[in-house]
Amino acid sequence: MRRVPKQIGLLYVVLVGAFLAWYIARGHRVDILVTVVSALTALIALPASVVAVLRSGKTRPAPTHLGDMADQLAQGVRHQWEAEARLRRLNDPFPLPVAWEAADANLVESWTQLKELAEDWPGQSPEAASAWALSPAGLAGKGGDIIQVFERVPTRRLVVLGEPGAGKTMLLIRLLLAMLEHRPPGGPVPVLFPLASWDPARQDLYTWMADNSPKTTPP
């Protein structure tokens, strides 16, 4: 907005003062002049007020960036499962040693087929393919190896099987927290959903996941 020069402002004051002096000298009532000036001022200010109201009505809060929302969700997931790990005492006094190996061949699809499926996915990078295991035998590991093993799976789909008390839950929580630790800002967020609470006859999968998603933590 351009500023009004001081000379014009002074001239305006002088003219208004001269008009008031002439008006009073002519014997006119001052209260009538005040009423007229107030009415004119209100009329002059009315358009600006209308424009301000219309602009305020059009103003909307800036939408939250998707990456920021993902970061908030990641923080909520981390808090949820770190608290769960403490409650279950998964690392007290030290993490339970868990080892695993690839499942029997008759329980899974062929490794060649899984690799071909992953290679056809849009945006698949050669760097990611170079980290894949050569065969299911390359998925064996123990302890904190779970995040590296998961990255060796071409489809990034991993099923953990085992007897009750074998350490499946602890292994998945460890995988979840490791993925959050290596997650880039704004990147995908891993979320752990216990399927025991899902009733397919009462609720579809996506609605159930939305209802059971962790609460985000404000930044």
Confidence of residue 180 (pLDDT cuts 50, 70, 90): very high
pLDDT digits (tens, 9 = 90+) for 25-68: 666 555 555 555 544 444 444 444 545 545 555 555 544 688 88
3-state SS of 166-197 is CCHHHHHHHHHHHHHHCCCCCCCCCCCCCHHH
What is the pLDDT, as a whole number, of residue 176? 92
What is the C-alpha separation between 187 and 129, in angstroms, rounded? Answer: 19
pLDDT digits (tens, 9 = 90+) for 76-102: 899 988 888 888 787 777 777 788 998
Has residue 172 got a pLDDT over 70?
A: yes
Residue with tokens 């292994």: 171
For the whole model, what pTM was predicted? 0.62
Which helix (H) or strand (E) covers residue 215, if one does?
none
